[in-house]
């Protein structure tokens, strides 16, 4: 941008005057002199004023006299001699007079005070992006200061503590903290109004006692005299000497001064886990041209970051494994335009960091890593740092604290009273806080899985990413388990106990097998080895081989996600009930609490095995339980249990008697053997009348047996009877699993649809599912059918005499029938696909109770 505002207007007027005069005069009056009314140059004004001798010395010593004397377009922010006298009394450099300033310090003070464009103060907040002018939107402008104006030589403990720096520790190196431009940050009224900054916002950002409207600040330095017009730009006078602030990373590292309680060294060390030295050929060449005697190399400190940092390791070939949101040492930080915004960081004090590891949710992390932040792996530290880094200061001022969310859309609970110190750097604002804001990964039920050494198998399953329809990558289970609006019980078998998982598809084949899952550290993946299995002795045999082939990753993901779903309960499994439903709709049985808890799935109950709890973690959104074995869901279908239990034989005969030609079948061949055809991915209750109750109902004419129905000669009557029988049978299947021993008083849907407009006991409307009333008193279940209104409805009660209640079944649906796959050892169906391509699609669970009467609704 060229000379602005009325300076530009004056020059335009001057040009017009020249054109007019040239038409009536032979000689142009100003060929060899400048008009008096245009004013002096910046240099002449400062040197003649007498109140800026220190600043003029800087100009002279750095050979800028000629530049500030010529026509051009500069903006300078100067300090008076009285301001310099105050500076000499107290400053971070320890200088007490001008003569003690080094050349580098002089460059810092002078070059940082100059912008290579002319701005009156009211236009400072304007900037161009392409050809578009944005008025009032700017808060930063690039200065004359160059990175190579000061290059320190560092070695030993002055260098970061990670392996990328080890080779440089002893011999040292010339290191730039950053090699980009140094901007100034400023706050004009136009900018504050654009983004609705409050007076409190600015006061807190800059450490002011108060802010008066229309005051302008360069960092926390007030402009006390503005818009001094010179022929080559503008002068603005500041209340104090403008000393270049550092960038955010450097401030956080250096912030261990007079008040140890505000030190941020721990956070700085964590940031340094993600940085490395990079050779800077450009700066080396430029510095060598200015200083021919310099023959060494110059390096720059880059953080591994997706914005502004390096995405590669120092070899410039290998991708960096962990990336920060942005490079906190990047002077020229920008998310879109440098001028428009800068970053922010909420940096806990060392005391806050230590307290977090010793109390509350953080104590779990502290115990795991010996209460030492530096011992925590980078993969776990990364989300912590990212949670405290903000890409926009505009969206992170105190008046907007209550609206802040992190990059995963979780609230960032910063309060104004958490802020104990602020610092405005060249690339962002540092809020020093007395609180830690752990990522959800640290406080949710997922966190113990994330940082445990022996939960890598389940962590791998939880952290698997998927791609959404818009191309966004997301880890569903991690997001799910990190939800703070839900309460979870997450049960995690630890790695050493994944040695004998009964795979339902292999279990259904001629060569049954178990899977041993194991974590391959070298490749950071989970593998599975197949072992033979004897159903009779329940013994694991020899290894058959690894799950392999092109689809092995999909196979392991499918099995582990099925297993993960069967180990998640929404709610508290220590609430006092005996049975709970998992996310997979599996039914689990709980005995005891805490580390005395024993958990059983359906197959565990059948085989009298338990998954014992070894450790409990009380988290923000529930509890995490480490187990000594996986919970094994039932491998018996409803069909299997009904067909093999003599006391259920009469009911099973009726279920199996539906004619093959009938559309409304009860059973369908799927899963391990057969499934209930009308079951969905849900949990159900099956009420099985005793054999005597079935016989009594037939004798009483409530129902007809199949033989009687088959013998009917009238086709219409036979069809009606078949339909009535199917509706009767389906009425014994109920949505929602209910258990003897727990309390209920509710109505649940059956699988039979009401097909008329008559009134019913439970008020069911036409085309809705008839209901079953269930009352559980802790010892039994009493059922009331949905009979005609005004009559006594049929009723039944769980028959506990034979112990045939709370029997757990599971109906699977596989992508193909088990016989369509080869056996685990490659035998079996010649044309079948490999076992490693098999997929469990979904499943339904059911609890089966024997009842003392049939349920009728007519």
Spatial contact of 490 and 533, defined as CB atoms under 8 Å apart: no
Q: How far is 727 from 708, CA to CA, in rounded Å?
A: 17
776 and 658 within one domain: yes
Q: Environment class of residue 791 by beta-carbon count within 10 Å: exposed (0-12), middle (13-18) or buried (19+)?
A: exposed
The string of pLDDT tens digits covering residues 574-596 is 999 999 999 999 999 999 999 99
Task: Taking residues 641-665, report their average pLDDT.
Answer: 95
- 396 occurs within a structural domain: no
789 and 737 within one domain: yes
Q: Please, what is the angle between helix 715-730 and helix 649-656, to 10°? A: 130
* CATH code for the domain of 696: 2.30.180.10
The string of pLDDT tens digits covering residues 25-79 is 333 233 344 555 556 999 999 999 999 999 999 999 999 999 999 878 999 999 9
pLDDT band at 3 (very low <50, low <70, confident <90, very high): very low
% of the chain with per-residue pLDDT over 90: 86
How many separate helices (H) and strands (E) can be counted in the chain? 26, 40
Q: How far is 65 from 43, CA to CA, in rounded Å?
A: 6
Q: How far is 412 from 217, CA to CA, in rounded Å?
A: 29
Q: Alpha helices of 391-492 — where are they, by DSSP H?
A: 440-443, 447-451, 456-462, 476-481
818 and 777 within one domain: yes
Q: Environment class of residue 659 by beta-carbon count within 10 Å: exposed (0-12), middle (13-18) or buried (19+)?
A: middle
- 52 occurs within a structural domain: no
Q: Which residues of 740-776 are buried (b: 16+ CB within 10 A; e: fewer)?
A: beeebeebbbbbbebeeeeebbbebeeeebbbbbbeb
Spatial contact of 332 and 343, defined as CB atoms under 8 Å apart: no
pLDDT of residue 451: 86
List, in sequence order, every residue forming a beta bridge with 236; answer none if it has no partner.
77
Contacts of 570 (CB under 8 A, 6+ apart): 486, 487, 488, 583
- 714 occurs within a structural domain: yes
Q: What is the mean pLDDT of the chain?
A: 92
Contacts of 708 (CB under 8 A, 6+ apart): none
Task: List the one residue out of 148, 104, 144 whose CA is nearest residue 287.
Answer: 148
Q: Is a pLDDT exceeding 70 seen at residue 12?
A: no
Please tell me the least confidently modeled range out of 8-22, 156-170, 329-343: 8-22
Tell me the pTM.
0.80
Please tell me the least confidently modeled range out of 22-26, 266-270, 785-789: 22-26
% of the chain with per-residue pLDDT over 70: 95
pLDDT of residue 309: 97
Residue indicated by tokens 């100003």: 30
Contacts of 271 (CB under 8 A, 6+ apart): 249, 252, 253, 303, 324, 328, 385
pLDDT band at 744 (very low <50, low <70, confident <90, very high): very high
740 and 615 within one domain: no
Residue 629: Cβ within 10 Å count: 19
Q: Is a pLDDT exceeding 60 seen at residue 16?
A: no
732 and 617 within one domain: no
The string of pLDDT tens digits covering residues 310-341 is 999 999 999 999 999 999 999 999 999 999 99
- 823 occurs within a structural domain: yes
Q: How far is 666 from 750, CA to CA, in rounded Å?
A: 14
Please tell me the least confidently modeled range out of 26-30, 528-532, 695-699, 730-734: 26-30
Q: How far is 489 from 320, CA to CA, in rounded Å?
A: 35
- 684 occurs within a structural domain: yes
643 and 623 within one domain: no
Enter the tokens of residue 26.
């032979």
647 and 620 within one domain: no
Q: Environment class of residue 196 by beta-carbon count within 10 Å: exposed (0-12), middle (13-18) or buried (19+)?
A: exposed
Domain boundary among 596, 627, 658: 627
677 and 550 within one domain: no
Q: Alpha helices of 594-714 — where are they, by DSSP H?
A: 602-607, 638-644, 649-656, 691-699, 706-710
pLDDT of residue 35: 52
Domain boundary among 579, 600, 627: 627
646 and 521 within one domain: no
Tallying the residues shown for the chain, one arrives at: 858
Torsion angle of the four alpha carbons 822, 825, 828, 831, in this order, in degrees rounded to the nearest 10: 40
Enter the tokens of residue 697.
């109902």
- 93 occurs within a structural domain: no
Spatial contact of 738 and 777, defined as CB atoms under 8 Å apart: no
Q: Is a pLDDT exceeding 70 seen at residue 495?
A: yes
Task: Taking residues 198-213, report their average pLDDT.
Answer: 93
Domain limits for position 24 = 1-38
- For the chain, the 3-state helix, strand and coil shares in percent, each to the nearest 5, are 30, 25, 40
- 200 occurs within a structural domain: no
Q: Is a pLDDT exceeding 50 seen at residue 1?
A: no
Residue 303's SS3 state is: strand
487 and 540 within one domain: yes
600 and 455 within one domain: yes
Domain boundary among 562, 594, 627: 627
pLDDT of residue 257: 67
Handedness of CA 582, 585, 586, 590 (dihedral sign): positive
pLDDT of residue 469: 81
Name the domain count of the chain: 3
> Chain-centre distance of CA 719, in angstroms?
58
Q: Is a pLDDT exceeding 60 seen at residue 544?
A: yes
643 and 576 within one domain: no
- 490 occurs within a structural domain: yes
Q: How far is 583 from 601, CA to CA, in rounded Å?
A: 13
Q: How far is 712 from 710, CA to CA, in rounded Å?
A: 6
């Amino acid at each position: 941008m060229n000379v602005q505002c009325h300076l530009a207007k004056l020059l335009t007027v001057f040009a017009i005057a020249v054109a007019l005069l040239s038409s009536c005069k032979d000689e142009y009056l100003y060929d060899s002199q400048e008009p008096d009314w245009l004013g002096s140059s910046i240099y002449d004004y400062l040197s003649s004023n007498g109140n800026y001798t220190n600043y003029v010395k800087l100009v002279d010593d750095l050979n800028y006299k000629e530049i500030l004397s010529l026509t051009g377009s500069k903006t300078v922010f100067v300090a008076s001699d009285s301001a310099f006298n105050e500076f000499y009394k107290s400053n971070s450099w320890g200088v007490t007079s001008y003569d003690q300033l080094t050349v580098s310090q002089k460059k810092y003070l002078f070059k940082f005070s100059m912008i290579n464009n002319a701005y009156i103060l009211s236009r400072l907040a304007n900037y161009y992006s392409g050809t578009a002018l944005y008025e009032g939107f700017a808060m930063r402008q690039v200065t004359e200061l160059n990175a190579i104006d000061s290059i320190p030589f560092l070695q030993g403990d002055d260098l970061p503590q990670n392996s990328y720096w080890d080779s440089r520790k002893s011999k040292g190196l010339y290191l730039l903290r950053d090699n980009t431009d140094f901007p100034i940050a400023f706050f004009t009224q136009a900018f504050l109004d654009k983004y609705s900054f409050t007076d409190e916002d600015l006061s807190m950002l800059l450490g002011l006692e108060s802010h008066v409207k229309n005051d302008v600040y360069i960092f926390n330095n007030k402009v006390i005299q503005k818009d001094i017009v010179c022929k080559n730009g503008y002068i603005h006078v500041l209340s104090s000497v403008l000393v270049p602030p550092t960038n955010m990373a450097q401030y956080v590292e250096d912030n261990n001064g007079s008040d140890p309680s505000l030190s941020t060294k721990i956070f700085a060390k964590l940031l340094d886990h993600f940085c490395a030295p990079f050779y800077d050929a450009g700066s080396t060449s430029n510095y060598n041209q200015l200083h021919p005697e310099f023959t060494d190399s110059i390096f720059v400190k880059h953080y591994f970051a997706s914005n502004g940092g390096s995405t590669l390791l120092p070899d410039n070939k290998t991708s960096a494994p962990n990336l920060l949101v942005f490079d906190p040492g990047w002077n020229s930080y920008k998310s879109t335009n440098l001028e428009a915004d800068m970053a922010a960081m909420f940096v806990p004090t060392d005391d806050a960091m230590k307290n977090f590891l010793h109390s509350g949710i953080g104590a779990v992390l502290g115990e795991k890593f010996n209460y030492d932040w530096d011992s925590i792996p980078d993969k776990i530290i990364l989300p912590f740092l990212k949670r405290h880094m903000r890409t926009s200061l505009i969206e992170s001022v105190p008046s907007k604290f209550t609206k802040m969310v992190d990059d995963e859309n979780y609230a960032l609970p910063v309060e104004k009273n958490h802020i104990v110190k602020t610092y405005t750097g060249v690339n962002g604002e540092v809020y020093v806080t007395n609180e830690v804001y752990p990522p959800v990964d640290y406080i949710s039920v997922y966190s113990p899985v994330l940082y445990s050494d022996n939960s890598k198998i389940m962590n791998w399953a939880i952290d698997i990413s998927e791609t959404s329809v818009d191309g966004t990558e997301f880890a569903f289970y991690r997001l799910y388990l990190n939800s703070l609006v839900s309460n979870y019980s997450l049960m995690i078998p630890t790695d050493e106990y994944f040695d004998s998982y009964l795979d339902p598809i292999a279990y259904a084949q001629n060569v049954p097998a178990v899977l041993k899952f194991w974590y391959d550290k070298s490749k950071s993946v989970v593998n599975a080895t197949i072992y033979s299995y004897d159903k009779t002795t329940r013994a694991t045999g020899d290894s058959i081989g690894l799950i392999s082939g092109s689809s092995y990753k999909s196979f392991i993901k499918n099995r582990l996600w099925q297993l993960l779903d069967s180990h998640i309960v929404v709610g508290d499994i220590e609430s006092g009930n005996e049975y709970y439903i998992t996310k997979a709709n599996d039914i689990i049985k709980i005995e005891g609490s805490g580390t005395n808890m024993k958990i059983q799935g359906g197959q565990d109950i059948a085989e009298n095995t338990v998954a014992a709890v070894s450790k409990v973690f009380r988290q923000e959104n529930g509890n995490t339980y480490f187990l000594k074995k996986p919970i094994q869901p039932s491998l018996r279908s409803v069909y299997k249990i009904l067909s093999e239990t003599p006391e259920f034989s009469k009911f099973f005969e009726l279920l199996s008697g539906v004619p093959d030609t009938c559309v409304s079948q009860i059973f369908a061949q799927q899963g391990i053997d057969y499934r209930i055809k009308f079951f969905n991915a849900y949990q159900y209750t099956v009420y099985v009348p005793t054999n005597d109750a079935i016989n009594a109902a037939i004798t009483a004419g409530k129902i007809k047996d199949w033989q009687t129905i088959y013998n009917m000669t009238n086709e219409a009557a036979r069809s009606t009877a078949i339909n009535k029988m199917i509706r009767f049978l389906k009425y014994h299947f109920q949505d929602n699993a209910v258990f003897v021993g727990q309390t209920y008083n509710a109505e649940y849907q059956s699988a039979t649809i009401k097909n008329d407009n008559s009134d019913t006991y439970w008020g069911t409307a036409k085309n809705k599912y008839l209901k079953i009333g269930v009352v559980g008193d802790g010892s039994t279940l009493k059922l009331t059918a949905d009979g005609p209104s005004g009559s006594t409805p049929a009723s039944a009660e769980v028959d506990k005499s034979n112990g045939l209640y709370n029997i757990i079944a599971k109906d699977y649906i596989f992508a193909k029938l088990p016989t369509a796959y080869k056996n685990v050892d490659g035998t079996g169906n010649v044309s079948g696909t490999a076992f490693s391509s098999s997929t469990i699609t979904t499943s339904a669970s059911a609890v089966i109770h024997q009842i003392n009467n049939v349920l009728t609704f007519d």
